[in-house]
Structure 1
């Protein structure tokens, strides 16, 4: 097939038709045609040649040209597409390296194989352009709700037609045992859009907490307008959910606005989520107060928060325990997800029993180590003393407030406590020495004898070993595994070491060893402060 004047305009008409059908830029189709014609010409004239084709955007005329580039003689590799300065003088005046000589060549007759190859090139280019358009269209829609039509179901995964493309609703992203038939309409949350070799992949979800948040945004104008904000969502898809809301307008009740007149707004969301029960909870900056709200409908009598561990203890009346935990632990699990805290629930009887046990253990500690009778040891515990160090190093006046304790008795108590502590320190240090602990670690400021013994038992025998430790290895921490928070025990955690203290001690050890330049730390801190200040200024 030769490119004649009769079919020159047909090229442009074909490009327009394909572009219109695939909803892509006609220029991309014309460029694909140019590339396919150039490939066909190379098969005719020689694959080593640099042949280019230009199709006039108005007339459709295809111009075939051969390009040769001037190169240094020692760089000449392709004799069909390159030539030296001397060789170029036959065609050009004063040729320079890098210059190009372009000459027009006759159009080619396209045989069956060449035509088929050209067709494949055009189809490939069109397919790539279509994929790019689809990705560009949907990448900015991630995080929004989309309506689609079910096309088919494959191994439990639903393929959804979303207009200009297909999306996938995976089996684990469906609510409960939802099933769909072809042509069913479905509303989903666009969870992710990825560019992959087989084209853009659009992943949908109906179980994501964000799906519920977006549904409320559609049903509640105050949320859409920003007057009410959704602070957290926790879901057990298809069964129950909790959503925390806050109002920035004192005259608007966030819970009432989300519920709507006679529950109309929340009911619309419930119907979309297959009857999922929704608890709407007022957000509170105070975590214990927020947790009390989150555990509704159960009543809470006491909350003890451990911010460092991200853990919280909740005490409920005996008859409220099953309600607080919920069926199969659902209520406490959702409250934990909502507050991002580990929640331990106990009854008032269990808490009383635990407190009694702690009281007895501390009483026994003082009786055994300070040679006290039970009544005197109980007095110390009642006044808030929990360990020997508090007795040994507290101000004398704090012991004198105890009934029956005069100055001589107080000094005797402190002397006994210090003697016991020194004996324990010596025993701990002797044990550490036997394990091979080095003087560099013993001399390091901030570590007690018991800490050194604990480190030695864990194989940390020198300052170098200590400097290689991570802060969480020393102070402990929490790791999220498959959505569940798992406790990592720290070597020095029993001694009350915090993550901040562990970070400071490890960094100090690295500076002493010369691994870190303290000037660099100052620079990093200054840069961080400057960045924070810039963010605050922008805000």
Structure 2
């Protein structure tokens, strides 16, 4: 194979893989030096000149001329006078011989091996470039085009044709894709799988919601408003604590926008996820009260050692605090980083009521938890509902409900 054809074909291949010229020259030189070492054992006295643009390749071997009877004649950088004069008849001892080595001198098999090695090195470099590019983009939003929908993941391509993936676990439950759709997500992580970079995107990460706020709210992007913490039940509900160091800026109002104009596009992107934006404060009692919004709490008792907090509310506020399926209290607990226990505040007429936890020796904990999810935490609050109401509002079976009601009635009898 002619050196010009080899260099030109490899240069074209490298350019198609977006490999820059200095890097391509370095790879070419590394491979040719490997060929030299295989044939001549060392490459110390060789120079390689590559002009990738013109397809030129020159390999020069430099040796010092010594007497035919010299002890150094077998050194790699020495040549006998008689051998040197076959190249140039007027050479003398002590002079340096510069001999050009042609590509064909290495043999066709070695040249073909070198070509395959070069292609593999460029492919490996391409993988490394892709890995480093997306490693630097972790936590940033990108947009890809859906090209294949599988049961466990959705595959996308970026603007350069690189493959990206959104696993099922990183998709919002309401996400529905068709081939050709555009999808936005953050780069969650980059892994090496079987030697290939795997770029994993996420739409469920709290960071995705944070980046959406940065893109839609200029004050967040400019740093005038700080997002302190984001907690999510993807596609269902989220709570975002925000703070501004400028008293002239209302952080909640700025994030929501006039008539919800700013937050509306975020909600739509997240498949109508209900987003509560609250003012962050160092006053933990006030912060907990805001976290449990829209419920209005009466009092708070924090137990620092156990990292728990007891919150007392009026009876009509309990279900609001707990939320649908326990979402509100679960997210509030994550936001304030404390385990929140909700208690019904009793008035004079309800002093004889008994908390359901008092029946833990007769009623299983999971049954009590199921009742608390719908705002029932006392015996009388359960007895105030019919069996049909309890069947409709909980996942309890009729037999379990009847047994539960009998236990509670006995307490008051």
Whole-angstrom CA distance in 2 between matches of 1:50 and 1:244: 65
After superposition, the Cα gap between the structure-2 partners of 1:257 and 1:89, relative to the gap in structure 1 and judged at 3 Å, is closer
After superposition, the Cα gap between the structure-2 partners of 1:89 and 1:250, relative to the gap in structure 1 and judged at 3 Å, is closer
After superposition, the Cα gap between the structure-2 partners of 1:304 and 1:355, relative to the gap in structure 1 and judged at 3 Å, is farther
Deviations 1:409-429 (A, max 9, x none): xxxxxxxxxxxxxxxxxxxxx
Secondary structure of the 1:50 match is: coil
1:233-312 equivalences in 2 (<5 Å): 233-312=230-309
Whether contact under 8 Å (2:174, 2:271) holds in the other structure is no
Whether contact under 8 Å (1:304, 1:314) holds in the other structure is yes
Whether contact under 8 Å (2:321, 2:328) holds in the other structure is yes
Following superposition, the deviation at residue 195 of structure 1 comes to: 5.1
Secondary structure of the 1:301 match is: strand
Deviations 1:30-50 (A, max 9, x none): 34334444555666x47xx23
2:57 to 45, 56, 61: 61
1:29 to 21, 24, 29: 24
Number of corresponding residues: 325
Secondary structure of the 2:78 match is: coil
Whole-angstrom CA distance in 2 between matches of 1:312 and 1:117: 70
Secondary structure of the 1:349 match is: coil
Secondary structure of the 1:250 match is: coil
Whether contact under 8 Å (1:295, 1:324) holds in the other structure is yes
Whole-angstrom CA distance in 1 between matches of 2:315 and 2:263: 32
Whole-angstrom CA distance in 2 between matches of 1:286 and 1:247: 15
1:91 to 68, 78, 99: 78
Deviations 1:457-514 (A, max 9, x none): xxxxxxxxxxxxxxxxxxxxxxxxxxxxxxxxxxxxxxxxxxxxxxxxxxxxxxxxxx
Q: Which is further off, 313-322 or 288-297? A: 313-322
2:126 maps to what in 1?
130
2:201 maps to what in 1?
204
Secondary structure of the 1:298 match is: coil
Secondary structure of the 1:120 match is: helix
Q: CA RMSD in A?
A: 3.3
Whether contact under 8 Å (1:149, 1:161) holds in the other structure is yes
1:97-116 equivalences in 2 (<5 Å): 104=99, 106-109=101-104, 113-116=109-112
| Unpaired segments ≥5 residues, structure 1 | 68-83, 93-100, 357-539
Matched, 1:345 2:337: no
Whole-angstrom CA distance in 2 between matches of 1:125 and 1:139: 21
1:391 maps to what in 2?
none
Whether contact under 8 Å (1:232, 1:243) holds in the other structure is yes
Q: Per residue, is there more strand in 1 or in 2?
A: 2
Whole-angstrom CA distance in 1 between matches of 2:102 and 2:77: 24
Following superposition, the deviation at residue 168 of structure 1 comes to: 1.6
Secondary structure of the 2:318 match is: helix
TM-score computed with the length of structure 2 as normaliser:
0.70
After superposition, the Cα gap between the structure-2 partners of 1:65 and 1:311, relative to the gap in structure 1 and judged at 3 Å, is farther
After superposition, the Cα gap between the structure-2 partners of 1:65 and 1:2, relative to the gap in structure 1 and judged at 3 Å, is farther
Secondary structure of the 1:56 match is: strand
2:15 maps to what in 1?
20
Secondary structure of the 2:199 match is: strand
1:323 maps to what in 2?
320
Following superposition, the deviation at residue 113 of structure 1 comes to: 4.0
Whether contact under 8 Å (2:157, 2:163) holds in the other structure is yes
Whole-angstrom CA distance in 1 between matches of 2:243 and 2:324: 28
Matched, 1:157 2:149: no
Whole-angstrom CA distance in 2 between matches of 1:30 and 1:155: 44
Following superposition, the deviation at residue 250 of structure 1 comes to: 1.2
Following superposition, the deviation at residue 17 of structure 1 comes to: 2.4
After superposition, the Cα gap between the structure-2 partners of 1:197 and 1:35, relative to the gap in structure 1 and judged at 3 Å, is farther
Q: Per residue, is there more helix in 1 or in 2?
A: 1
